[in-house]
Structure 1
Amino acid sequence: MTTVNGTMATDRPERYAKQLVSHWSERGPVSTEAGATIQRWNTGQVLVLRPTDGALEVEVTVPDGDDAARFAQVVKAHLERFGQRDEVNVVWHL
């Protein structure tokens, strides 16, 4: 498994976490664990969204052999499109 972590500054992290997993509801089950929203895709990817004070921490994990950078870019594009009015930006910590 390969994991990429990032952060998106926002005053509404819970809203964006809920919106993203709702948008991808058919991809796999969603659970809440230790304050994080976790979606385990049927194809093996895992998306962890942790709302914090002033930010949404984003963690994407893909199975070995999958392209973590590509999946991270898809997540980034969706979050930034949802937050276009707020001019949000996901920054990956590589």
Structure 2
Amino acid sequence: MTTVSGTMATDRPERYAKQLVSHWSKRGPVSEEDGATVQRWDTGQVLVLRPHDGSLEVQVTVPEGDDAARFAQVVKEHLERFGQRDELDVVWHV
């Protein structure tokens, strides 16, 4: 499994976490784990969204052989589109 982590500054982290997993509701089950919203896709990807005061921590994991950077980019594009009015930006940590 390959994991990429990042953060997104926002005053409404819970809203964007809920909106993203709702948008992808048919991809796989969603659960709450240790304060994070976790979605495990049927195809093996895992999305972890952890709200904090002023930010949303984003973690994406893909099975070996999948392109983690591509999946991370898809997640980034969706979150930024949902928060276009707030000019959101997901920053991936290297």
Q: Under TM normalisation by the shorter chain, which class is it?
A: over 0.9
Aligned to 2:29: 29
Aligned to 1:66: 66
- What is the correspondence of 1:10-49 to structure 2 with a 5 Å cutoff? 10-49=10-49
Query: 1:15-59 CA deviation, whole Å, 9 max, x = no partner?
Result: 000000000000000000110000000000000000001000000
Equivalents in 2 of 1:79, 1:62: separation in Å? 18
Could you tell me the percent identity over the aligned residues? Answer: 85
Paired residues in the alignment total 94
TM-score w.r.t. the length of structure 1 is: 1.00
Aligned to 2:7: 7
TM-score w.r.t. the length of structure 2 is: 1.00
Q: Extract unaligned runs of 5+ from structure 1.
A: none
Give structure 1 regions of 4+ aligned residues with deviation exceeding 2 angstroms. none
Q: Does 1:54 align with 2:54?
A: yes
Q: Extract unaligned runs of 5+ from structure 2.
A: none
Secondary structure at the counterpart of residue 26 of structure 2: helix
Aligned to 1:80: 80
Equivalents in 2 of 1:12, 1:53: separation in Å? 9
TM-align CA RMSD: 0.2
